[in-house]
Amino acid sequence: MKNILNTNQMNLKPASFSDDILKDWIENEAWNEPLAKKADAIRRQSYGTEVYFRGLIELTNYCKNNCYYCGIRCGNPKVDRYRLTYEDIMSCCEEGYELGFRTFVLQGGEDPYYTDDIICQIISGIKHAFPDCAVTLSIGEKSRESYQKYFDVGADRYLLREETSNESHYQLLHPESMSMKNRQRCLKDLKEIGYQVGAGFMVDSPYQTTEDIIADLRFLEELQPDMIGIGPFITHKDTPFAKHPSGSVSKTIRLISILRILFPNALLPATTALGTLDPLGREKGLQAGANVVMPNLSPAAVREKYNLYNGKIYSGDESAQARKQLEKRVEAAGYHVVNTRGDVAGFQVMNTCGDVAESHGVNVHDKVSDCHAENSHNENSHNKSSDYHIENSHNESSNYHVTDVNKTFTDCQKGKES
């Protein structure tokens, strides 16, 4: 380990961090403290002590993909599959709104049952009922046209982890039907359309090397996402990676700090995976530079079915209903929860007159030129989402039940077993 006390290297501009420095930081535990200290100082400049909560709604655990690491892969016959209806989702949002959530994250497997029309109905239903809330989608790889449709009815953000930025590593984690090229195409499309985009990767996923992580950091430097989600890989016993050990909490924490140093304005979650491997994982993540927590807002009956990995926490302080306890924990860690949309620093929410209704982060004026793009997005989505009638979505949502839900899934499984 080099230069442990030479914190000068942290005064360099992000672009000048060499691969050697990054490798040293990633691999050596002795860096945890100095990196966390630096990262915390940077997050305080960008966001003060603010922590943003997101209500996570796990839409469906059907998935047409067969990623080797993931518990809800279509090749896992042991999963008790479910889908939420429009009404289920709206009542999660109602409950979440009462609890103070102003961002709803719709996450799910890649489930073709949710056509673009259905997704658009859900988005416009939420935006219509809760116009002061942000909608984040995390529903996987789609065509640019689909991403555009979701954006046009009001979706604000999109989470899609790149998973890895090394082609051969990508192929070790995914079946042949998936490609890194398409993953990156999706991220590029999302950025160009105007979403606040989230990327990220698992720490210590099977076969991952330090060089792979550095490749991810370089990819992220190029993409400049607004959000970056990382968490340790956690073994799931019913996947091809059942024998691979879970990742390191300490390395994940170190990487959160590195991300904060490289991306001062990014929204960085202290993830559920981190909280699953270490009961204090989320607090440690916040103290190392993270500023987002995503409590579970899914209906209680489905939470244990959305198992990407073993041991996932979904009750106790993790549930959205226990928000007060979680707020206390955030405060004990030295931060405070705010009930706003929690957009990326510099982002300004315009009201329909084009005036700034809300601004976020301390460095608001750094990104004034971005306002025009955001402005047109907000006006655009406002208009279009109110064109989209709520009655329409209600009526059509009752069709959800008549579709042969299992057919789609069986089709997905064909030819996708590893």
Query: Residue number with the shortest CB distance to ligand 5AD?
Result: 309
Q: Is 197 helix (H, G, I), strand (E, B) or coil?
A: strand
Laid out side by side, the sheet with 292-293 consists of 292-293, 50-53, 336-338
For ligand 5AD, the closer CB: 126 or 273? 273
Q: Smallest distance, Å, CB 266 to ligand 5AD?
A: 17
Q: Smallest distance, Å, CB 277 to ligand 5AD?
A: 9
For ligand 5AD, the closer CB: 116 or 238? 238
Q: Smallest distance, Å, CB 364 to ligand 5AD?
A: 30
Nearest-angstrom CA–CA distance, 338 and 103:
12
Q: Which contiguous run of DSSP H or E holds residue 134?
A: strand 134-138
For ligand 5AD, the closer CB: 45 or 250? 250
For ligand 5AD, the closer CB: 92 or 273? 273
For ligand 5AD, the closer CB: 14 or 311? 311
Phi, psi of 259 (to 5 degrees): -65, -40
For ligand 5AD, the closer CB: 141 or 379? 141
For ligand 5AD, the closer CB: 274 or 350? 274
Laid out side by side, the sheet with 196-203 consists of 55-60, 103-108, 134-138, 157-159, 196-203, 227-232
* Token pair for 286: 């916040």
Phi, psi of 64 (to 5 degrees): -80, -10
Under a CB-based contact definition with an 8 Å cutoff, are residues 345 and 46 in contact? yes
Q: Smallest distance, Å, CB 361 to ligand 5AD?
A: 25
Q: Smallest distance, Å, CB 292 to ligand 5AD?
A: 15
Q: Smallest distance, Å, CB 161 to ligand 5AD?
A: 4
Rg (CA), the chain: 20
**Total Cβ atoms within 10 A of residue 252:** 26
Nearest-angstrom CA–CA distance, 38 and 31:
11
Q: Smallest distance, Å, CB 303 to ligand 5AD?
A: 15
Nearest-angstrom CA–CA distance, 118 and 107:
14
Footprint on this chain of ligand 5AD (rule: CB under 6 A): 69-70, 161, 163, 202, 231, 233-234, 236, 273, 308-309
Tell me how long the chain is.
418
Characterize the bridge pairing of strands 336-338 and 292-293.
unpaired
For ligand 5AD, the closer CB: 70 or 256? 70
Q: Smallest distance, Å, CB 215 to ligand 5AD?
A: 16
Nearest-angstrom CA–CA distance, 369 and 39:
26
